[in-house]
Structure 1
Amino acid sequence: MELRQRALQVLCLSDVDQKVRQTLDLQAHAASFSIADETPVEPHDLPGRPERPALLAHSQVARRSPATPAGRAVLLHAIAHIEFNAINLALDAVWRFSGMPQRYYLDWLRIAAEEAQHFSLLREHLRSQGHDYGDFPAHQGLWTMCEKTRGDVLARMALVPRTLEARGLDATPLIQRKLRQTGAADALAAADILETILREEVGHVAIGNHWYRWLCERDGLDAEAHYTVLVQRHEAPQPKPPLNLEARRRAGFTETELAWLTYGENASNRPNAF
């Protein structure tokens, strides 16, 4: 069987359990698949989605304090939705872009499987609290950038893993702190799940950094300068402070990049202690 075609088939699945199970199965048997240069025909209505959750604009999705069980359920559901979207993003990176090295496809298939595991951990936690995935509305911010970069693998590597997904490296410690401050058993369990996710997400962002720089080198582009061009071209968001500098360094960001992400156009005036 051919890997990219099969990744597209899994991406098209709308049943949550099937998508998770078949993503894990695809990764487990990756060595038995060939990888073709020809890109499959894109179907309509990607990705496959379940009927629930209802999808709203980002501004319409309610935010609640993790200090209450109801607030924690909404928060963990939102993170589970991000992880479900991340499965789709990784599968899309596998099937959509031709002419990449074999390692690229295997890297993104591994990411898809790990995102499926993250989603399963969060869903199991939600179920233990009397909820399930789909019980609360969600938004599609990650997939919107996926659509914007559908024709450019360089932009995809720049603006999905190393921009949008990297925001999770910054946000997760803050969420964990709020959860642990409650002292509630379910909140502490959720914080532990997020610790596992954070550790593996550093690796996912590192893969995005690797392939972004590989593509820049292939195309004769300055990786740091071209990133600012792509951010402006596709209207990608700037990260919200504080940045998780340690995690971003482990994921492969340079000091110049971290300064730009922190200070923007004023990066040249940053303190020497940065």
Structure 2
Amino acid sequence: MSDTGAIDRMPSTLRQAAIEALLEADLDRKVERTNTACRLWFGRRLGVHAPTDPALPDRPGRPAEPMLVSPRTVKRRSVHTPAGRIAMIHALAHIELNAIDLALDIVARFAAEKVPRSFFDGWMTVAQEEAKHFGLLSRRLAELDSHYGALPAHDGLWQAVEATSHDLGARLAVVPLILEARGLDVTPSLLEKLHAVGDRETAAILEIIYNDEKKHVAIGAKWFRFLCARQGHNPAERFQELVRACFRGEVKAPFNDRARAEAGLTPTFYRALSPLSR
């Protein structure tokens, strides 16, 4: 249960604001806290971090539903039936909710890193846009007489936080450059299917998400290259090393090479990691 009084007290640091949003279990209030943190940060009314900041949680705040299950037990979703489209939108809403917390976590966890202030500008922009995506998908579920939490979901995305909690470079490699980049690969075909079944409303939301996700991957690529330059690493080689060490899933082909390249993620990064593309 969240601290109901905390939302009335303005945070003094970005790290505090991000952690309070992470801890929030009420999802409307989580979005509100995220947007408030962005407004205060971009208004230059927050410091970055302070010794009095609250402790970073092991897990984000969540409501009682949806029930979390193993990724292997989540059924495949078809857009060709109303129930299938609802299940697909629910799964996307779950991804976007996790994406809010992933962006907040990178800000809070690595607040003491020696990076330019614009690093935090980028990730708070990501947090704000992921909150927008979650809202769009939640409202679409309501239009279809459903809601987020009505179906089971899996907890695979948060495992990326645990696997990369020790290193900013690993976090950048796995979250924006593997997980978010995957969205660039699969969304175009999903858009085609939605248009084919006449679901223009959901397709319009996915267009917004797709274009924003290109920016998110680009932010990840920018700061990954920044770290590699500072540490004297070859970016593509370092990326492959970190992914092999920290990512538990598969790097799946086919790839949307054009969209990835537009975001600064060229095939030299990821092709060697996918057996099917060698």
Aligned to 2:31: 20
CA contact (8 A) 1:53 1:133 kept: yes
Aligned to 2:240: 228
* Deviation (angstroms), 1:255: 4.0
Q: Tell me the TM-score normalized by structure 1.
A: 0.91
CA deviation map 1:11-69 (0-9, x unaligned) = 11011000011111211221211113759453554211111111111011122311000
Alignment of 1:107-146 (within 5 A): 107-146=122-161
Amino acid at match of 1:61: V
**SS at 1:52's partner residue?**
coil
Q: Distance in 1 between matches of 2:141 and 2:174?
A: 30
Q: Distance in 2 between matches of 1:39 and 1:15?
A: 24
**SS at 1:231's partner residue?**
helix
Alignment of 1:145-156 (within 5 A): 145-156=160-171
- Which ranges of structure 1 fall in alignment gaps of 5 or more residues? 267-274
* Deviation (angstroms), 1:236: 4.0
**SS at 1:178's partner residue?**
helix
Amino acid at match of 1:116: A
CA contact (8 A) 2:163 2:247 kept: no
CA contact (8 A) 2:160 2:247 kept: no
Alignment of 1:83-122 (within 5 A): 83-97=96-110, 98-99=112-113, 100-122=115-137
Q: Distance in 2 between matches of 1:7 and 1:225?
A: 32
Q: Distance in 2 between matches of 1:169 and 1:236?
A: 20
Shifted more, 20-29 versus 128-137: the winner is: 20-29
- Which ranges of structure 2 fall in alignment gaps of 5 or more residues? 1-11
The structure-2 alpha-carbon separation of the partners of 1:69 and 1:61, relative to structure 1 and needing over 3 Å to count, comes to same
How many residues align? The count is 263
RMSD across aligned C-alpha pairs, in angstroms?
Answer: 1.8
The structure-2 alpha-carbon separation of the partners of 1:42 and 1:148, relative to structure 1 and needing over 3 Å to count, comes to farther
Residue 49 in structure 1 maps to residue 62 in structure 2:
yes
* Percent identical: 42
Q: Tell me the TM-score normalized by structure 2.
A: 0.89
Amino acid at match of 2:48: I
Alignment of 1:1-274 (within 5 A): 1-30=12-41, 31-36=44-49, 40=53, 42-97=55-110, 98-99=112-113, 100-183=115-198, 187-257=199-269, 259-260=271-272, 266=278
Shifted more, 167-176 versus 40-49: the winner is: 40-49
* Deviation (angstroms), 1:250: 1.0
